[in-house]
Structure 1
Amino acid sequence: MRIVRIKKIVLKNYRQFKDIEILLSKTHINDLHIFIGVMGTGKTNLLNAINWCLYGDESYLSRDFQQLPLPNLKVISETEYEKDVNVVAEVWIETENNSQIIFTRKSMFRVYNRQDIPQKQAEVLEVKITDNEGNTKILEGEDAESCVERFVPKKIREFFFFDGEKLDRYFREATGQNIRHTVSAISQVEMLSELYRKIEIILKEFRKDAGKINPKIEETREYLEQKENEYREVSREIEECEQQIAIAKEKIREYEEKLRELPDVEKLEKERGKLIKSKKEKEEYKKEKEIQKQGLLYEYGKIIMLWPAICKSKEVVKSKKMAKEIPPTIDRILLEETIKNNICTICGRKLDDRAKKEIEKLLNEISMSSEIAQELLSMESFLNRYSQEVKYFKINIEKISKEIQKYNKELEEIEENIFEIDRKLSGYNTEKIKEWHEERMNFEKIYDNNQQKLGILKSNKQQLEQDIENFKKKLDDELNREKKITKLKKCIDFCVRTLEVLDKTKEKITSEIRSNIESETKKLFFNLIWKKESFKNIKVDENYNINLIHAMGYECLGTISGGEREILTLAFTIALHKVSGFNSPIIIDRPLAMVSGEPRKNIVDTLSLISKNKQVILLFTPDDYSFDISSILDPKASNRYRFNMSHNEKEVKMEVL
C-alpha cells in the first residue's frame, strides 16, 4: 500500500476550528491547494492540527497559543461545569490503489470552571483502513502509530510539513542522523538489521553449546562476546559523538552568522584592558627615563658650562708639550743627596766649588719647573677625565632621549588603538554580543572535545575489530580441533556466513540509497535554482549531512539566502520521497516568508511544477499572496480557501474562493 494524498481534513473543537471540513479533491492537473489567512486566523494552526492528529503534538504552535487551552474557546464557554468537551482531528488519505486511510485523534477535556484550563481526561489515536474492496480494519496503540510512521515518519516530518519562517534552520540542526535512521527503516534496511540481530542470537547459542563440550572453546567464546559487547558500546559512543559534533558544528555556524560583522566584544575589551595596562606601564617607564635625564643634566651641568674652558686648557697643555716648554721630570732627591754628600752620586767624584754652584743652580731651576709641570700634568689628568665623562654623558643622554621618544611613539599608538576599539564598541549591545561569543566558544569546546574523543573511539574500535577477528579465528581453530561438534560447527559456520552476507547487503543498499538521494537532489536543485553559475556541487555524506559547494569550491550552505535554502530543501525532500518510495504530500506554511524580489516567482513556479506529481498545500498571508503570485497559482490550483475569523474572535470559518 502506497500513500498518495490528503483527501479531507475534519476538525471539531480544535482551537479556532469549532466545526470545519476541508475537502482537497484534485480537480486540476496540478494537485495544488491554496489557503489564505491574515496573521492569527488559524493558518499555522491548520498545520498544527495535522501534526496533532498524527503525532499528538503541535510543533508549530506560536507563543500566543501556548497559553490557551486546546479545546475551542467558544465551546468551553458554552459547556456546563463538570461536563466534557471532545476535540477531534481527522486526516483522510487516499492511496493509488483506491484504498482509504482515516487518521483520527480524539481527546476528551473536562470543564471545571471558567477560570481554570479544562483538564485532559483521555486521548486516543485510531486508524481506519478500508481497501478497494470495502474491507475495513481499525488500528489503535502501537499499530496505529506504526501506520503514521509509514505515512510521514515523525523524525523527518519537517521535510513534509514546512514552516516557511524557519526555512533558514533546515540542514543546520543536525537532522542528518534522523534522516539516515528513517531512510534505513523505510528502505527495509532495518529489516536486514533485525534479521542480523536474530541470527547473532542464534550464533551465540550455538557457540555456548560448543563451549559446554570444551572449556577452551567456552573461554574463547566469552572473550569474543566481551569484545563484541565493547565494540557495540564503542560504536554507540561514536554515533553519539558524531551527533554532538554535528550539533556543535551547526551551532558554531549559527553564532558565526549572528556575529558576522559584529565586534568581538570580549576580545576587544580584553585587548583594551591590556592596552590601558600597557599605557600605564609605559608612562611609568617614561617618567623614570625623564627623571634619569634630569639627573644627568644636573650632574653634568657644571662640566657642560665649563666645556669651552676645558677644551682651551687641553689645547694649551698639548701645545706646551709639543714646544717642550714643559721640562722632563728629574729626580730632585738625587740632586739634593749630591750636594749634601759633596760627591757626585753618578760618578763618585768629589764636587769642587764650581760644580757645587752649578748643581745648586740646577736644583733651584728644576724645582721651579717641576712644580709648574706637575700642576700642568695634574690639570691635564682632570681635563682628560672630564672629557671622558662628557663623552659618556653624550652617549647616555642620547640613549635616554631615544627611549623617551620611543615611549612617546608607543603611547601615541596605544591611544589610537584604544580610540579605535571604543569606536567599534559604540552603538552595540555589548552584553548580547558577549553572550553570543561565549556560546560560540562553548560549542567550539564541545566540538574540539568530541573530535578528540572521536579519534580515540575510532582507534579503540579499530583495535576491537582486530581483537574480534583474532578471537573469531582462535574460536574457529578450537572448534576445528573438537571432533565431537562437527554438526554444531557447520551450524556456526552457516550463521557466520549469513551475517557476512547480510552485512555486505545492508552496506550496499545503504550506499546506493544515499548515492541516489544525492544524485536526485543535485539534479533537481540545479534544474530549479535560478542562479546557474553560483554553485558547483551538492554532497550528501554517510550521515546525511548536506553540503552545498560554491562554484569557487568552498562550502556555502551557511551563507545562502532563504530562497536558495528553500529550493535546496524542496529538492532534497523530493529526492528523499522518490528514492525511498514516499509520495506523501508537502505542506508549507508561508512559503515566501524568507524570499523577496524575483526569486518569489521562481519559488512558486517550482512549487506548481512539483504539484504535477505530488500534492502540494500552501498557506499564505494576503501580503505574501500578492497579484504577481496569485496570477501564477490561481489558474493551477484545484482548491482555494480563505480563513475568516468570527466577530468574537473565538471561531474560524473556511470560505471557498
Structure 2
Amino acid sequence: MIFLELVIQNFGPYCGRQVLNLRPQDQDSPPIILLGGMNGGGKTTLMDAIRLALYGHRAQCSTRNNLGYSEFLNQSVNRHTPPGDQTRIELTFEHILNNVQVEFKIERVWTKNSKSGKDSLGVSIDNYQDLALTQIWDERIEDLLPLGISNLFLFDGEQVKELAEQETPTIDVTNAIKTLLGLELAERLAGDIEILVNRKRKAVADTQDLANLEKIEQKLNLQKDKFEAAKEQLKITQKDIEKAQKHYDETSEKFLSEGGKIAKNRSQLETQLSYGNEAIAHLRKDLSEVAADVIPLALISTLLNQAQTQAQKESKHLQAKIAQDVVKARDNRFLSCIETLALLPEQVEQINLFIEEENKALEQDINLTENLYLAGDSETSNQLTNNIGRDLPNQIKKAKEQLLNLKNKEEETTAIERQLSAAAAPERYEKLADAVKVSQSQLVQAKSNYETTRKHCEELGRFVDKTIKELSQFGDQNIDRKNDEHIIKASAKVQNTLKLFREKLTLRKLNQLETVVTECFLYLLHKSDLVHRIAIDAHTFTLSLYDYSGKPVLKHRLSAGEKQLLAIAFLWGLARVSGRNLPVAIDTPLGRLDSSHRNNLIERYFPNASHQVILLSTDTEIGQTEVQQLRDNKAIAREYLLKYSPSTRQTTIEPGYFSNGTSTNTNPTISNG
C-alpha cells in the first residue's frame, strides 16, 4: 500500500480545500514525506483525517474521546466554514486487488448539523465509483489494513511513550500483535472443535449423565427461547421506532404544509405587511405629486409639438419684420453712399437690382407666415421647449420608476397576504403543534423502549453463553464412551495437537520477532554493549532484556530515550515480521530523545521503517540539522510546512520545511481551496 494523495476541505484548522501530494516521484523515490508544524498547528489533524477516511465511525481519532460520531463530525468542521458548505476528506492510495495494482479513492463528505448525522461515503477504483465496494467498505478495509493493527503503523509519540513506560502491553496492543502474527486463527479453530466435542458428549452420556445434560440443555433451550423472543421484541421495538419516526415526520410535514410555521411567525408577517402598506401609501402620494406637475402634458404631446412648430414660425416672422425695417434704412444709407462714389450707371443699376431681389426674398418670408394665432413671446417659447425636451421626459422617467417600485412593493405585500391567508388559525396552530409534540414524545419513548430491550437482549445473550460454557465443561468422567468414543478421543488428540501447534507457532513467530526486535533495537541504540538479546513472553508479550552474560537488564535502568527506542524497535519488528507492505505515519516522532538517539533514529530508522514514511514533526524535533542530514542522505521525497495563523486559528499547507520555507527537492503539488 502507498498513500498517493490526501485532500482536506474545511476540516479542523484547515479552511477551504487543500491537497497534500504524497505520491512518490518515481519507482526508486526516497521513502520520507516530511511535514513540519508547530504544536496545535494541525499535524495530529492530518493523522485523524487518514484514520477517518479509512475507518469512518470506527476511527480512533485523537479528539473524539467519548463523542458520538455525529457530534464528532460536527465538531470537526472548520469554524469559518459558511453554513451549508461541505466538509470533505479524500484519501487516494495504491494497493493490490486480484493480483493487479489499482488506485483506491475514498471520499467522505458531510455538512455541519446535517439531518442524517452521518457522512457520505464513496469508494472508487481507478477513478470509477464502485457502489458494491462502498457498501462493504468496513469489511474490505479489514483485508487491506485491519483496524486492530492500524495503530502499529499509524502512531504518535504519545503512543510510543505509553508503550515504552508500560511493563506489559495493553489488551489492544496484545490483540493487534496476535492478529499481525496470525495467532488468532488457531484459537478460533480450538473453539470450534470444543463445540463439536460438546455435541458428541451428549450422544454418549448414560442415563444419569443424560439427565444432567438434559437439565442443562433444557435451561439452555429456555434461555435461547427467551433470547430469541427478546430479539424478536427488539425487532418490534425497532419497527416501533421507524413507525414513530414516520409519524413524527408526517406531523412535522403537516405542521409546515398547513401553515403552522407561518402561524408561528404571524406577528412578524403582520408587521412586515404594515410596513409594506405604509410604503405603498407613500409611493402613491409621490405619484400624485408627480402627476400635479408637467406630466399631464404627456397626454397632449402632439399638440405641444404643433405649438412648438407654430411658435418657431411666429418667432421667425417677428424677426423678419424687425429685420425688414432695419434693412430698408440701411439700403437707403447705402444708396446715398453710392451716389457719392461716381459709379457707372450700369453698376448702380446692378446694385439696385440686387437690393430689390433681397427685399423681395425678405418680403416673401414675411408673407409666407399665415395664421399667427399664438402671439407668444420668446420666454414662453423657451419654456415650451424646456417642457418638451427636458422636464416632461424627466418626469415621465421618474413616474415609471415610482410605478415600478409601487408594483414591486404591492407584489411583496400580496405575497405576505397570501402567507397570512395560508397561516393556520390560532386554534388550528395549537392543534398542529400539539400533534408534533405528541409524535416527538412517542419517538423518544420508542427509542427508550428499544434501548431497554436491547440491554435485556444482551443480558440474555450472556446467560446463554454462560450455560453453553457450563455445558462444555461437563466432565469427561461422566461420559459413557460406548458411542462416538473415537470422535471424542480424536478431538482431544486434535486439541492437544492444536495446542502444541499453537504453542510452537507462537514460539516460532516470537523467536522470529525476538530476533528482528533485537536487531532493530541494537541498530537504533548507540550503546551496543547494553543489550545482547530481547525475549518476548508468549502469553503477555512482555519484553525482557539480557546482556552478553545472560543476565537480565532491568527496564528501569534504561533512560527515557532508550525506552522509546525499544518501543519503536518493537513496532518496527512487528511490521517487518508481519510481512504486510504498509506505509508508516508517525506524529511527533522524536519525543524526549536526546541528540545521539535522535541521530540514530534520523539516520537509521526513518529511511528504513517502510517503503513510505510520513513524518509530522515540530521544528524542535526535526530541526535544520536533522532535516539537512535527511536531505544529504537523499531520504526525503517531499517536504511540507503546516503554517498556522494564531489570529485566524487556521492552517495552510505550503511547500518546504521550517526556516527558509522552500524544499531542496522537487516542488510538491499544493492547492488551496
How big is the shift at 1:225?
Answer: 10
8 Å CA contact 1:224, 1:471 repeated in 2 = no
How big is the shift at 1:470?
Answer: 10
Q: Map 1:197-276 onto structure 2 (within 5 A).
A: 197-211=191-205, 214-218=206-210
**Structure 2 CA distance for aligned equivalents of residues 184 and 165 of structure 1:** 22
Aligned to 1:7: 4
| Residue of 535, 540, 559 corresponding to 2:536 | 540
Matched, 1:100 2:99: no
Name the Cα RMSD after superposition: 3.9
Aligned to 1:39: 39
8 Å CA contact 1:5, 1:95 repeated in 2 = yes
Corresponding letter in the other structure for 2:119? E
**Structure 2 CA distance for aligned equivalents of residues 561 and 103 of structure 1:** 42
How big is the shift at 1:541?
Answer: 0.8
**Structure 2 CA distance for aligned equivalents of residues 650 and 122 of structure 1:** 26
| DSSP 3-state at the match of 2:515 | helix
- Structure 1 residues 130 and 473: alpha-carbon distance in aligned structure 2, compared to 1, 3 A threshold: farther
| Residue of 508, 511, 515 corresponding to 1:512 | 508
1:446-505 alpha-carbon deviations (Å, 9 max, x no partner): xxxxxxxxxxxxxxxxxx9xxx99942552xx223xxxx4xx444444444443333332
**Structure 1 CA distance for aligned equivalents of residues 526 and 644 of structure 2:** 38
1:150-171 alpha-carbon deviations (Å, 9 max, x no partner): 4444445443223225533224
Matched, 1:525 2:524: no
Aligned to 1:568: 566
1:548-606 alpha-carbon deviations (Å, 9 max, x no partner): 34678444334533432332222211211122222322211222231232332211002
8 Å CA contact 2:4, 2:22 repeated in 1 = yes
Corresponding letter in the other structure for 1:632? Q
**Structure 2 CA distance for aligned equivalents of residues 124 and 548 of structure 1:** 49
1:198-241 alpha-carbon deviations (Å, 9 max, x no partner): 33323322322334xx4145268689999xxxxxxxxxxxxxxx
**Structure 2 CA distance for aligned equivalents of residues 532 and 192 of structure 1:** 38
How big is the shift at 1:615?
Answer: 1.4
| DSSP 3-state at the match of 2:119 | strand
- Percent identity between the two aligned chains: 20
How big is the shift at 1:71?
Answer: 0.4
8 Å CA contact 1:177, 1:544 repeated in 2 = no
Aligned to 1:622: 619
Matched, 1:89 2:89: yes
Aligned to 2:185: 191
8 Å CA contact 2:525, 2:597 repeated in 1 = no
Aligned to 1:591: 589
Q: Map 1:606-621 onto structure 2 (within 5 A).
A: 606-611=604-609, 613-621=610-618
**Structure 2 CA distance for aligned equivalents of residues 620 and 503 of structure 1:** 45
- Structure 1 residues 99 and 223: alpha-carbon distance in aligned structure 2, compared to 1, 3 A threshold: farther
**Structure 1 CA distance for aligned equivalents of residues 170 and 145 of structure 2:** 16
**Structure 2 CA distance for aligned equivalents of residues 189 and 599 of structure 1:** 33
1:82-101 alpha-carbon deviations (Å, 9 max, x no partner): xx454332332212551333
Corresponding letter in the other structure for 1:644? K
**Structure 1 CA distance for aligned equivalents of residues 107 and 535 of structure 2:** 39
Corresponding letter in the other structure for 1:609? P
- Structure 1 residues 558 and 586: alpha-carbon distance in aligned structure 2, compared to 1, 3 A threshold: farther
| DSSP 3-state at the match of 1:99 | strand
**Structure 1 CA distance for aligned equivalents of residues 182 and 580 of structure 2:** 13
Corresponding letter in the other structure for 1:502? L
8 Å CA contact 1:30, 1:608 repeated in 2 = no
**Structure 1 CA distance for aligned equivalents of residues 513 and 215 of structure 2:** 41
8 Å CA contact 2:149, 2:177 repeated in 1 = no
8 Å CA contact 1:125, 1:144 repeated in 2 = no
1:255-290 alpha-carbon deviations (Å, 9 max, x no partner): xxxxxxxxxxxxxxxxxxxxxxxxxxxxxxxxxxxx
Matched, 1:161 2:164: no
**Structure 2 CA distance for aligned equivalents of residues 222 and 533 of structure 1:** 65
| Residue of 154, 164, 172 corresponding to 2:165 | 172
8 Å CA contact 1:165, 1:594 repeated in 2 = no
Matched, 1:501 2:494: no
1:289-326 alpha-carbon deviations (Å, 9 max, x no partner): xxxxxxxxxxxxxxxxxxxxxxxxxxxxxxxxxxxxxx
- Structure 1 residues 546 and 103: alpha-carbon distance in aligned structure 2, compared to 1, 3 A threshold: farther
Aligned to 1:638: 637
Query: Structure 2 regions of 5+ residues with no counterpart?
Result: 66-70, 219-468, 657-673
| DSSP 3-state at the match of 2:201 | helix
| DSSP 3-state at the match of 2:118 | strand
- Structure 1 residues 29 and 60: alpha-carbon distance in aligned structure 2, compared to 1, 3 A threshold: same
Aligned to 1:69: 75
| Residue of 582, 598, 601 corresponding to 2:599 | 601
8 Å CA contact 2:104, 2:126 repeated in 1 = yes
| DSSP 3-state at the match of 2:607 | helix
Query: Structure 1 regions of 5+ residues with no counterpart?
Result: 112-118, 227-463
**Structure 2 CA distance for aligned equivalents of residues 595 and 59 of structure 1:** 25
8 Å CA contact 2:87, 2:110 repeated in 1 = yes
**Structure 2 CA distance for aligned equivalents of residues 209 and 470 of structure 1:** 13
8 Å CA contact 2:107, 2:121 repeated in 1 = yes
**Structure 2 CA distance for aligned equivalents of residues 631 and 489 of structure 1:** 72
Corresponding letter in the other structure for 1:517? L
